[in-house]
Structure 1
Amino acid sequence: MKSIILATTALTLVAGAALADGHAKTIRMGTEGAYPPYNFLNDAGEVDGFEREVGDELCARAELTCEWVTNDWDSIIPNLTSGNYDTIIAGMSITDERDEVIDFTQNYIPPAASAYVAASADADLTGGVIAAQTSTIQSGYVAESGATLLEFATYDETVAAVRNGEADAVFADKDALAPSVEESGGELMFVGDDVPLGGGVGMGLRESDTELKEKFDAAITSMKEDGTLNAAIIKWFGEDAKTYE
């Protein structure tokens, strides 16, 4: 398990998950660090990407001191509920199934498309082998589509499976796939139709942390209202990315 922790600059030290009892506590922001451009580790080994930029800004607006913690995707919810960190900010789509286990803030990325990427324009999307990251809404969709689901622990492994011929296509967030397609030099391409899934991307929190949720919701609202959030979305995902009106 990856466990790099990096302190961020914030305005004021206030309470975290234990806000209600009056004891100050640093908020630990849990992310994967392996899903660019949402989140990744840069050359210095630090959490970087869209969610690092947005998360730091949210912490500053909420007057919270935050640290960044990385955790493997397939155990990211259990480690939140067990108290290893206080939030999930990791490209996690809001779904009814997840909402039964944890709570979510409002979304900080609007509902967007998932898509298929393959090495051939005639890839079999309905009867072939489709790679997807485990425990994602995309893997659930593939499992019910009639195709053969091939799951991997990380996003990079799903793309590698297409490159090496292990899978006919990969199914993931279109915003995450776009850089892989662009950087492939024509080796990879979008195929088939886009598929809308989920209720946008939000921060996950323990259901008991209602005050912390309120603080982050207010900060997200302020970033939407002043255009800061849209600017970050365009910076990291491009001019064609879906933004807030």
Structure 2
Amino acid sequence: MKNLILSTAALALTAGMALADGHSVVRMGTEGAYPPYNFLNDDGEIDGFEREVGDEMCARAELTCEWVTNEWDSIIPNLVSGNYDTIIAGMSITAERDEVIDFTQNYYPPTESAFVAASEDVDLEGGVIAAQTATIQAGYVTETGAALLEFPTPDETIAAVRAGEADAVFADKDFLAPIVEASGGELMFVGAGVPLGGGIGMGIRESDTELREKMDAAITSMKEDGTLNEMLVKWFGDDITLY
């Protein structure tokens, strides 16, 4: 659940959404580079927890939805300017973001961010910490006094630790967990977890009230019948926080 620091840059792009607001198709915007939340599979198609959740939300809301990808650091400006109609990209609900766009209720409960390093003997307060550009994790690192090393993609932050360019990486724990497990002991969690954000929600333009209400109703029904919990366990394991 990455936490975007809002960018002031915006691109003038065409719009087209659904519902009584005068649109036809809901375009679901995601990053496609943050497994298991969202990623491109071997066929080049958007996949992951959020693809499954988003498709189910659209089905329950009786909406026609299409998926598009957008780089993380411009994902909010391009929603506002009409490149797509929702953000479903591991985006935590924050007060800062809520000043620019609206959010549905969360479809992923609040969890921790964490540090991962190649050694237990690292200085998290005075060392070099890698984080993805334009995330609240990056903002948090600057407040600790550590030296922040930013990268455009999450994969580059992991590579920096492996290459010795950074002492640790700071990111969503649920993103880091499978990487640590697959590293065979090369990487490990260090320090204490840090709770950030208010869970992950779908970002929607402030003018698209009907769309937000339909997606909110879909999320509510998925929580009530257990479907959302089943998806959380499928993609994140039995230890994930459930509704």
Q: Would you call these one fold, judging by a TM-score over 0.5?
A: yes
Question: Letter of the aligned partner of 1:65 in structure 2?
Answer: T
Matched-pair contact (CA < 8 Å) for 1:93–1:137: no
Contact 2:18 2:25 in 1 (8 A): no
Q: Which residue of 2 aligns with 1:41?
A: 40
CA separation in 1, counterparts of 2:18 and 2:234? 34
Partner of 2:81: 82
Shift of residue 122, structure 1, vs aligned partner: 1.1
CA–CA distance in 2 between the matches of 1:183 and 1:19? 44
The AA in structure 2 aligned to 1:55 is G
Moved over 6 A (4+): none
1:11 corresponds in structure 2 to none
Quote the offset at 1:20 in angstroms: 2.5
Give me the whole-angstrom Cα distance separating, in 2, the residues matched to 1:160 and 1:147: 19
State yes or no: 1:227 paired with 2:226: yes
Give per-residue Cα distances to partners, 1:105-150, cap 9 Å, x unaligned.
0000011010000000011111001111111121111111111111
Aligned to 1:114: 113
Letter of the 2:154 counterpart: Y
* Aligned-residue RMSD, C-alpha: 1.0
Structure 1 residue 28 displacement after superposition: 0.3
Q: How far, CA to CA, are the matches of 2:156 and 2:27 in structure 1? A: 27
Report the counterpart of residue 166 of structure 2 in structure 1: 167
1:44 is displaced (CA, Å) by 0.1
Q: Is 2:32 aligned against 1:56?
A: no
Q: Give me the whole-angstrom Cα distance separating, in 1, the residues matched to 2:28 and 2:238.
A: 28
Distance 1:137 1:216 in 2: 25
For residues 1-245 of structure 1, what are the structure 2 equivalents within 5 Å? 17-21=17-21, 23-244=22-243
TM-score by length of 2: 0.92
Question: Identity, % of aligned pairs?
Answer: 80
Q: In the aligned structure 2, how far is the partner of 1:141 from the partner of 1:24? A: 39
SS of the residue corresponding to residue 142 of structure 1 reads helix
CA offset digits 1:131-184 (Å, max 9, x no partner):
111111211111111111111111101111100011000000000000110111
Higher relative contact order (CA 8 A, sep 6+): 2
1:148, 1:93 → 2: CA distance?
24
Hey, what's the Cα distance between the residues in 2 that align with 1:163 and 1:88?
31
Which sections of structure 2, spanning at least 5 residues, go unmatched?
1-15
Q: TM-score, normalised by structure 1?
A: 0.91
The answer on whether the counterparts of 1:31 and 1:88 sit within 8 Å (CA) in structure 2 is yes
